[in-house]
Structure 1
């Protein structure tokens, strides 16, 4: 997975902290037995994701804690994929999936899992992510205090994510077949395992919380995967050079080959013209997924403003990121291409004002995506 978040949940991204004066209504009571483990989750969240620390608080209770715990478990899986060395990461991912079902005796098993996971992390692993892995038993304890449907939805997501990461993780790294994934379909399959699964889980959690959202399942569920895929594909495009320098690539080799390129030659200055042609085709693919994601958000009921904002912020931040990436050769240079804090604040403020005004949101989306390739 890319080093920057997609959080998808890594999908979902590292744009910088934004302070907002009002987090909106917090409907619903807090968890009846909210524990110090939940407090740990709230505390560690900003250290591993400024983005989710920004938008989770707009969710109503107890949906906010459910999504926090779900995100952190997915982030633990992501850290194991990125930072664990040796052949043990797949086994650790499988064990994390098992522990997420909270089997009998999970507490002792979680402690053993944590010792092994911390032992195999790279020395260069970010301190905050190491602390999160060390806190795996506390994250599982926080999951345990949630309602049964929440536990089931989260465990199902972690299981699919872990299996996919374990199976596809090595495909994007240097191996007998070289760097990169075989095709755009395989790139999107990878996006599904690390982010599309999160879109599915969030949809199930939204339906658990809101009967009105549950009534719209037929519209939301077919678009849930695109919501996660759009965010992850945007992150892949944003982090192409960083990933390549780490020995990873999630771009499709077939598409690069159409322009006489390979992942190994993509960054060569003499290949810039063809590289940008291939790159812009991938921007178009991300744009396509974003259009489906926007349909997803528009299908959420207007009265659920917190849930809408939770989805609108990363969606429009992805749009603004793609606008900055499109046709920009700087994405292949060492200095990261990022949207500004001013842009983040503008997205947050604009969507707060327009959250329940569908016509204005559609106009905003159409205007901002107009320059993007289709």
Structure 2
């Protein structure tokens, strides 16, 4: 097994089985670039999320990591402090092989390498900003809706943009389509998926000292971030929470339009984009049916639902009408 096969195979699978499935179905022409970008982003996530390490040290490691991605001549990054704090075997293995992932980036074709460097620049700067906002010691909220929109772009919307640049170049470069609209829909799709995660994971984020619902919105409901730790306050929060559910749905609808813009013959690419869309919608449904402030309520979709999505899409992807009915919600 080559280093590339190991990185994009068992190492990636052990940090995200969901994305591993997506990677397997992607066309071979874009699988290495998208897989590598994902691994590098997961390394950055691991740095940012290892709360046992002080926030300032994590910010420093993120800056060093970003510099090494940007510049082949930059010093290698020492992850020993992060590694000692990790207890997830998949993440440990990922960091242990980080030098190989960066070496693979160094040998990637210049145009693709530039796209990977650009998206990692955006992601890591967003993570660094997140660490500055949330020190983990006190519960803090984002201030405005613009702050939340900016956050969802930096950590996910930019990924949709990257994905589109890479797949457009390698899968359908000569296809005549509305490029601007395609990229705009891709960005909204990424933002929507991140917003779904935020709405689903609200109790866990609050426990970690992070409130992504804007303070301006909470003030309209006469709430402070700490009030959201009490499930009984859901009815008071609901009027300002519901618009975020609606926005997430609208962003995912843009993701459905994005999927329909992909040329029909690219079955694999349409499948890879449909899976997170449909899983995101199912997750939103579960959030709607729950008390989003209740930590004990399960809001992740079940494995049976995931299998149903995989099977249902595989059966419908060849047929234009069936595919459109699957993607478009009334």
Calculate the TM-score normalised by the size of structure 1: 0.81
The residue correspondences of 1:115-264 to structure 2 (distance < 5 A) are 115=78, 117-120=79-82, 123=85, 125-173=87-135, 179-212=140-173, 215-216=176-177, 217-264=179-226
Q: Give 1:125 deviation, angstroms.
A: 4.9
Whether the aligned pair in 2 keeps the contact of 1:38 and 1:142 (CA below 8 Å) is no
Q: Give 1:257 deviation, angstroms.
A: 1.9
Whether the aligned pair in 1 keeps the contact of 2:231 and 2:293 (CA below 8 Å) is no
**Hey, what does 1:337 align to over in structure 2?**
299
Q: 1:273 to 1:122 in 2, by over 3 A?
A: farther
- What does the per-residue CA deviation read over 1:281-339, in whole Å, with 9 as the maximum and x for residues that have no partner? 22111111111111111111111111111100001100111011114116523343221
Query: 2: CA distance between counterparts of 1:103 and 1:50?
Result: 30
Q: 1:329 to 1:56 in 2, by over 3 A?
A: same
The residue correspondences of 1:263-278 to structure 2 (distance < 5 A) are 263-278=225-240
From 74, 94, 107, give the equivalent of 2:63.
Answer: 94
Query: 2: CA distance between counterparts of 1:126 and 1:248?
Result: 22
**Hey, what does 1:295 align to over in structure 2?**
257
**Hey, what does 1:30 align to over in structure 2?**
none
What secondary structure is seen at the aligned counterpart in 2 of 1:288? helix
The residue correspondences of 1:277-292 to structure 2 (distance < 5 A) are 277-292=239-254
The residue correspondences of 1:60-71 to structure 2 (distance < 5 A) are 60-71=27-38
Q: 1:330 to 1:188 in 2, by over 3 A?
A: closer
**Hey, what does 2:41 align to over in structure 1?**
74
Matched, 1:45 2:12: yes
Q: Give 1:89 deviation, angstroms.
A: 2.0
Q: How many residues align?
A: 327
Where in structure 1 are there 5+ consecutive unaligned residues?
A: 1-33
- What does the per-residue CA deviation read over 1:335-356, in whole Å, with 9 as the maximum and x for residues that have no partner? 4322111211111111112224
Q: Give 1:67 deviation, angstroms.
A: 1.1
Query: 2: CA distance between counterparts of 1:358 and 1:237?
Result: 32
Q: 1:269 to 1:153 in 2, by over 3 A?
A: closer
Q: Give 1:240 deviation, angstroms.
A: 0.7
RMSD (Å), alpha carbons: 2.3
What secondary structure is seen at the aligned counterpart in 1 of 2:212? coil
Q: Indicate the larger mover: 131-140 or 86-95.
A: 86-95
- What does the per-residue CA deviation read over 1:254-304, in whole Å, with 9 as the maximum and x for residues that have no partner? 112221222211131331211333332221111111111111111111111
- What does the per-residue CA deviation read over 1:9-65, in whole Å, with 9 as the maximum and x for residues that have no partner? xxxxxxxxxxxxxxxxxxxxxxxxx94244233221111111111111111113112
Choose between structure 1 and 2: higher helix proportion.
2
Q: 1:92 to 1:249 in 2, by over 3 A?
A: same
Query: 2: CA distance between counterparts of 1:365 and 1:89?
Result: 40
What secondary structure is seen at the aligned counterpart in 1 of 2:183? helix
Calculate the TM-score normalised by the size of structure 2: 0.91
Q: Give 1:172 deviation, angstroms.
A: 4.3
Q: 1:127 to 1:277 in 2, by over 3 A?
A: farther
Query: 1: CA distance between counterparts of 2:315 and 2:291?
Result: 34
**Hey, what does 2:286 align to over in structure 1?**
324
Query: 2: CA distance between counterparts of 1:46 and 1:59?
Result: 15
What secondary structure is seen at the aligned counterpart in 1 of 2:270? helix
Q: Give 1:124 deviation, angstroms.
A: 5.2
Query: 1: CA distance between counterparts of 2:194 and 2:57?
Result: 25
Where in structure 2 are there 5+ consecutive unaligned residues?
A: none
From 37, 51, 59, give the equivalent of 2:26.
Answer: 59
